[in-house]
Amino acid sequence: MNISVIGSGYVGLVTGACFAALNNNVICIDNNEEKINKLNDLIIPISEPGLEDLVKTNYKEKRLKFTKDTPEGIKDSEVVFICVDTPTKEGKPDLSAVKNVAKDIGKSLNSYKLIVEKSTVPVGTGEIVEEIIKQFPKNAEFDIASNPEFLREGSAIKDFMYPDRIVLGTPNPRATAILTELYRPLNANFIITGVKEAELIKHASNSFLALKISYANDIAEVCEKKGADVKTVLSGVGADKRIGKEFLNPGIGYGGSCFPKDVAAFIHIQEDCGVDPSILKAAQSRNNYQRQYFVEKTEKALGNLEGKVLGVLGLSFKPNTDDMRSAPSIDIINQLQSKKALIKAYDPQAMENANKILNNVQYCKDPYEVAESADALLLLTEWKEFESLDLQRIKDSLKNPIVLDGRNIYDPQRMSTVGFKYYGMGRK
C-alpha cells in the first residue's frame, strides 16, 4: 500500500519505518527541513533500539522516503497518517499542528484518501479535521479515522510489531477494510470502534496507567510509614487478574512526553464537558509531590544538603532512551540544587540532552566516577547496567555509604549486607 506519514518525530518515524518493513511504500513528511535533510542522509534524530537499522534498510530498498513537501508526499498515497505533536498549552490540548496538517491535506487532496489520526488527540478532533478539509474545493473523497498508538519509548518497534491490540476507529466499512488490510501482517487483536471511541481509548488508557503509578506511590508511602515492604504488597495486589502487575512500580513518579501531557489534557476534557476531574487531579498532584518527597527523603538521610556532593545515576525519564522530556530527574536535581547540593551525574544516553536543560552538573564517564567521594548515591533511572554494578567498589568510593534508590532496583537485604544505608521507595 502507498502510505504517507505526516510528522517525522518519534511516533511518525517509528510508524513509517515499521510500515515500510511490512512491505508498504512509505513517505515520511515533516515541515522541518533540517530534520528531513538529516533523515535523507540517514542521520536518525532519536535514539530508539532497532530504529536506525530499520530506517537504513528500508530507505536503501526504496520503501521509505523523506520529504518536506506535503502535496508531493501525499499525492500517490491512499492512507495518510497524522503523527504531529499535540502538546498542551496552559493545560489545554493545542491542536494547531493537527489543524495545519488538515489544511495542507485539504489544499492538495487529489484522490481518495483515508486520513488517520495517530497522534493523541482530544475526543472530537476527527470532526474538526473533517470540517477543515471540507472548507477546500472538493477534488476527491476522503474519510477520517483514528488509530491511536500505544508505543512505549525504548520498546517502540517491538510494541508496533507485537501489539496487545490495534484500535481502529473508523467511520465506515471502506475505511475499516483499508486499515485491517494494512495491519493484517501483524496478526493482532483488532478493536474496531467509532472515531470518537478510539480517540477516547487513548486518553483513557494513558490516564489509567498514570493513575496506577500514582496509586502505587501512595501505597509505597503507607508501607514506609508502617514498616511494610511495598514490593511484597503490590505483588499481592497485582496478582489479582482484575488489577494486573504492570505499571504498579512505585518510584519517583512518571515523566516523559506522554503521561504528564495526556493527564493534563484529559483533565481539561473532563472539565470542559462538566465531569468532575478530581480522580485524575489527585494522580497528577501525587506525581508532582513524588519528586519533592524523594528530595525530602534525601534530606532526612543526609541532614542539611548545603555543600553535599550527590552522585546521580540515571537522568532520562525511563531506561533505553535519551529522552529528558518531563524527566523526574529535572525537578529532583533542581530542588536539590536549590538546597545548595552539588550534583555529579551519569546516564548511558541522556547526558547530552540533560546538559541542555540542567545547569552546574558535573557529568561523569561511569557510575564509579559518580560515586567517587560523593556523600550519597541517588538512583533516578533504572538502566539495566546499574543492576550489576560492583557494589563493594561503589561503597568503597563513596564518602558515606548512603544509597537512595528511586526505582527500587536493589535488594534492601543485599545492600545492607554490603554495608550501605539503603533507602528504597516503600521498602522495609
Residues involved in catalysis:
258
Q: Which is nearer to ligand UGA, 261 or 395 (CB)?
A: 261
With CB under 6 A as the contact rule, the residue among 36, 101, 151, 220 that binds ligand UGA is: 151
CB of 114 to ligand UGA, least distance (A): 21
With CB under 6 A as the contact rule, the residue among 73, 122, 256, 348 that binds ligand UGA is: 256
Cell reading at 37: 535533510
Q: Which is nearer to ligand UGA, 63 or 318 (CB)?
A: 318
Q: Which stretch binds ligand UGA (CB under 6 A): 22-30, 237-245, 248-256, 348-356?
A: 248-256
Cell reading at 110: 487529489
- Binding status of residue 317 toward ligand UGA by CB under 6 A: yes
- Residues with Cβ < 8 Å from 226, sequence gap 6 or more? none
What backbone phi and psi angles, to 5 degrees, belong to 264? Answer: -60, -45
- Binding status of residue 170 toward ligand UGA by CB under 6 A: no
Alpha helices in 184-327 (DSSP H): 195-226, 230-238, 259-272, 278-302
Size of the site for ligand UGA (CB under 6 A): 20
Q: Which is nearer to ligand UGA, 75 or 152 (CB)?
A: 152
- Binding status of residue 248 toward ligand UGA by CB under 6 A: yes
DSSP state of 345: E
With CB under 6 A as the contact rule, the residue among 152, 196, 268, 281 that binds ligand UGA is: 152
The upper half-sphere exposure of residue 121, i.e. CA atoms within 13 Å in the direction of its Cβ, equals: 30
Q: Is the dihedral of CA 411, 413, 416, 418 positive or negative?
A: negative
Cα–Cα dist 339/298, whole Å = 11
Burial of 39 (0-12, 13-18, 19+ CB in 10 A): buried
Q: Which is nearer to ligand UGA, 112 or 208 (CB)?
A: 208
In Å, how far from its chain's centre is CA 128?
26
Cα–Cα dist 87/89, whole Å = 7
Q: Which stretch binds ligand UGA (CB under 6 A): 181-189, 249-257, 346-354, 393-401?
A: 249-257
Q: Which is nearer to ligand UGA, 266 or 317 (CB)?
A: 317
- Binding status of residue 293 toward ligand UGA by CB under 6 A: no
With CB under 6 A as the contact rule, the residue among 183, 190, 247, 368 that binds ligand UGA is: 247
Q: Which stretch binds ligand UGA (CB under 6 A): 37-45, 144-152, 166-174, 416-424?
A: 144-152
- Convert 282-292 to b/e letters by CB count within 10 Å (16 or more is b): ebbebbeebbe
Burial of 241 (0-12, 13-18, 19+ CB in 10 A): exposed
With CB under 6 A as the contact rule, the residue among 47, 58, 120, 397 that binds ligand UGA is: 120
Rounded to 5°, angle at Cα 138 from 135 and 143: 85
Report whether 129 contacts 108 (CB < 8 A). Answer: no
- Binding status of residue 166 toward ligand UGA by CB under 6 A: no
Q: Which stretch binds ligand UGA (CB under 6 A): 124-132, 146-154, 166-174, 384-392?
A: 146-154
Q: Which stretch binds ligand UGA (CB under 6 A): 150-158, 186-194, 388-396, 412-420?
A: 150-158
Binding to ligand UGA, residues 203-222 (CB under 6 A):
206, 209, 213
Q: If you write DSSP's letter for every residue of 130-143 in order, what string do you get? A: HHHHHTS---S-EE
- Binding status of residue 426 toward ligand UGA by CB under 6 A: no
Q: Which is nearer to ligand UGA, 126 or 250 (CB)?
A: 250
With CB under 6 A as the contact rule, the residue among 12, 169, 251, 406 that binds ligand UGA is: 251
* Dihedral angle of Cα 389, 395, 399, 400, to the nearest 10 degrees: 110
Q: Which is nearer to ligand UGA, 122 or 256 (CB)?
A: 256
- Binding status of residue 258 toward ligand UGA by CB under 6 A: yes
* Site residues for ligand UGA per CB under 6 A: 120, 149-153, 206, 209, 213, 247-249, 251, 254-256, 258-259, 317-318
